[in-house]
Homo-oligomer: A and B are copies of this chain.
Amino acid sequence: MLTRRDLMPALAAAVALGTVGAARPSAAQTARPLASWNEGPAKQRLLDFIHATTDRASAQFVPPEGRIATFDQDGTLWVEHPIYTQVVYCLERVPAVVAKRPELKQAEPFRTVLSGDRAAIAKLSLRDLETILAATLTGMTIEAFQAEVAEWLAHARHPRWGRPYTDLVYQPMLEVMELFRAGGYRTYIVTGGGQDFVRVYSQRVYGIPPEQVVGSAGGTRFMMEGEGRPVLIKEPRLLLNDDHAGKPEGIHLIIGRRPRAAFGNSGGDQEMLEYTTLNAGARLGMLVLHDDAMREYAYGPARGLPPTHVGTFGAALDAEATRRGWTIISMKRDWRRIFPFDT
Contact = CB atoms under 8 A, between A and B. Distances in A.
B275 A230 contact: yes
Contacts of A53: none
Contact of A230 (B195, B253, B278): B278
Nearest to A229: B278
B252 A254 contact: no
A254 B254 contact: yes
Interface in A202-228: 209-211, 213, 217, 219-222, 224, 228
A256 interface: yes
Interface in A21-70: 65
Nearest to A239: B239
Chain A residues touching B, majority SS = mixed
A274 interface: yes
A257 interface: yes
- Identify the interface centre among A195, A217, A256: most chain B CB within 10 Å of its CB: A256
A65 B249 contact: no
B211 A257 contact: yes
A142 interface: yes
A271 interface: yes
A240 B220 CA distance: 11
Contact of A249 (B219, B229, B253, B278): B219
A293 to B, nearest CB: 34
Interface in A224-276: 224, 228-230, 232, 239-240, 245, 248-249, 252-257, 271, 274-275
A325 to B, nearest CB: 11
Contacts of A248: 220, 222, 230, 232
Given A65-B209, A211-B256, A230-B248, 8 more contacts: A195-B253, A211-B257, A220-B249, A220-B252, A221-B245, A222-B275, A230-B274, A232-B248
Interface of A: 65, 142, 195-196, 199, 209-211, 213, 217, 219-222, 224, 228-230, 232, 239-240, 245, 248-249, 252-257, 271, 274-275, 278, 324
